[in-house]
Structure 1
Amino acid sequence: MTLTAIRKVYQGVADRRQTFRMFDRHAQRPDRWQNDDSALFIGEWFEHRQSEHDYMLNILQPLWMRHDMFAMREFLTGSVTSVFFSLAIDGAVRHFHGYCDLADNGSPERMKAAIIERETRPVRAMTRDERLEHIWSATEDGYRGYADERFPVTQRGQRVVMMCASRQARTFRLLDQLTDAEVSTKLPVHLRYLPEQIAA
């Protein structure tokens, strides 16, 4: 079985509005629901507030519950659904959402272990991939999208974000091809100068 990478897709604690935007970060994708989009979601996780955790727990009876996690009864696609975690990390209970493939029985436990490992690292740092995922998650829909006919055929369908040099010079760039300087300008100030971290 090929395991999908588990990845943090938002830095900081998402508020209610951002949490609900994050539930479908790929809403603008071309041919939405035409294909099996499971791979887009499996392994994504982010932190949110306790109020959002409690709201989701009470909105619908969970599919299952364990002492520190529960799964939503409604599936996003195929066997992929939301799993909500309440994890004690460094003496504080924190709340997380992740997409797990429940056809793989070990998926929730691997997600939990990955979150704990990532959030207990002694030095605050971000990988390049985490920086790009945060940019994608935090950018409003009007300023992000997918490469269309303005791009070469080989690039169509890839994620793009708007670079705003000026009102007259707004251009879309492939997210994965942003330079380090462009990545820095798209991040909020408090995240720009975190050390680079080598992916595990």
Structure 2
Amino acid sequence: MTLSPIRKVFQGIADRHQMFRMFDRHAGRPNRCADDDGALYRGEWFELGETCHDYMFEILPPLFMRGDMFAMREFLTGSITSIFFTLSIDGRIRHFHGYCDLADKGSCERMRAAIVERESRPVRAMTREERLEHIWSSTADDYRGYAGERWPDADRGKRTVMFFAKPGGTTCKLLNNLTDAEIAAKLPVHLRYLPDALAA
């Protein structure tokens, strides 16, 4: 499973519980201990509240602080760590978390620019990819997973979600194969009818 470029993975402002769940959205992946899956995390970002931002700032002394951002001292995998941003967007102070690869010079600045560009759009909209990432982020661990041995070889390791196909019945589907109607059914009501965005 390869993800990477900079992408928003949750719509809305994450509360403390959601924040900690999203810190390791890929915890259940196959071969967790065998692989360096930096591409799964690199580029992920989401919004959080000021209280959560300040809580994370006070946990450990930051690895570094630069104006509107600070980095966590502990690395998630390889050279990837949490970067917390305090950004003024359209006259409002907002807080964000993103995973940046510190071995990639300029990754923090590119993340900041991508967040500001995405959140400065005049109309709220979501790409198909953002809808799928929000579904993955907000689905309980018991109802999401990874395609295993019963799946065709080409699908093994891809993300799956449980879908209620009929009254009293469920089926497991590849996340990327959900239809527009299935995506809408999985999203909270306030996100179902947002316009489509061409790029995140």
Whether the TM-score (by the shorter chain) exceeds 0.5 is yes
Shift of 1:153: 1.6
Aligned length: 197
1:115 matched residue in structure 2: 115
Q: Which amino acid aligns with 1:174?
A: L
State the shift of 1:150 in Å: 2.3
Q: How does 1:46-125 map to 2 (within 5 A)?
A: 46-125=46-125
Distance 1:37 1:154 in 2: 19
1:73 deviation in Å? Answer: 0.5
| Residue type at the aligned position of 1:107 | S
Q: Deviations over 1:105-124 (max 9, x none)?
A: 20000000000000000111
Deviation by residue 1:158-185 (Cα, 9 ceiling, x = unmatched): 0000001346421110000000000000
2:25 is aligned to 25
**Consecutive aligned runs of 4 or more in structure 1 exceeding 2 Å deviation:** 165-168
Q: Which residue of structure 1 aligns with residue 182 of structure 2? A: 182
Q: Find the aligned partners of 2:156 and 2:169 in 1 and give their Cα distance.
A: 21
Amino acid in structure 1 at the alignment position of 2:160? V
- Residue 165 of structure 1 aligns to a residue whose secondary structure is strand
> 1:36 offset after TM fit, Å?
1.2
Residue of structure 1 in register with 2:140 after alignment: 140
What letter is aligned with 1:135? I
CA distance in 1, matches of 2:131, 2:79: 28
Unaligned runs of 5+ residues in structure 1 are: none
Q: Give the residue type in structure 1 aligned to 2:104.
A: D
User: How many Å apart are 1:154 and its aligned residue?
Assistant: 1.3
Uncovered stretches (5+) of structure 2, i.e. residues with no partner: none
Q: Which residue number in structure 2 is paired with residue 192 of structure 1?
A: 192
Q: Which residue of 1 aligns with 2:10?
A: 10
What TM-score does the superposition give when structure 2 sets the normalisation length? 0.96
Shift of 1:91: 1.0
Instruction: After superposition, give the CA deviation of every residue in 1:21-43 in whole Å (9 maximum; x if it has no partner).
Output: 00000000001021111000000
The two structures have a TM-score, normalised by structure 1, of 0.96
Separation in 2, partners of 1:181, 1:165: 12
In structure 2, how many angstroms separate the alpha carbons of the residues matched to 1:170 and 1:151? 16
Q: Are positions 1:37 and 2:37 aligned together?
A: yes
Pairwise CA RMSD of aligned residues?
1.0
Matches within 5 A, 1:154-173: 154-166=154-166, 168-173=168-173
Instruction: Tell me the amino acid that sits aligned with residue 139 of structure 1.
Output: T
